[in-house]
Amino acid sequence: MLSFLYHLAHDFELSHGYQANLLYINQRHYTALCEQLSGIENLGELSQFLGMDLVFSEEATHPHVVWQPIEWTKITA
């Protein structure tokens, strides 16, 4: 999973000229990623490690990355 995400982010940056800042994944992807990165203990650490905020969506049948101008971590409901 980590290798796949690296390639997604790398391809995005090559195509657009800037880095993605959001990763869309579903719960199954998140679980697989956490299993590979057992030293990372929470969502904040994972987000920092990846350099992207995570958006959980069950509609994300495949992980994908995007860039959004909004700082999602600063939004509160």
Taking each continuous run of H as one helix and of E as one strand, the counts in the chain are 3, 3
Kindly list the strands in the beta sheet with 53-56, ordered across the sheet, starting from the edge strand earlier in the chain.
Answer: 53-56, 22-25, 64-66
Per-residue pLDDT of the chain (77 residues; tens, 9 = 90+): 889 999 999 999 999 999 999 999 999 999 999 899 988 888 889 999 999 999 999 999 999 999 998 765 555 54
pLDDT at 77: 45
Sign of the Cα pseudo-torsion (64, 65, 68, 71, in order): positive
Q: What is the pLDDT of residues 34-43, one digit of tens each?
A: 899 988 888 8
d(CA 23, CA 75): 17
Tokens 């590979």 sit at which residue?
A: 36
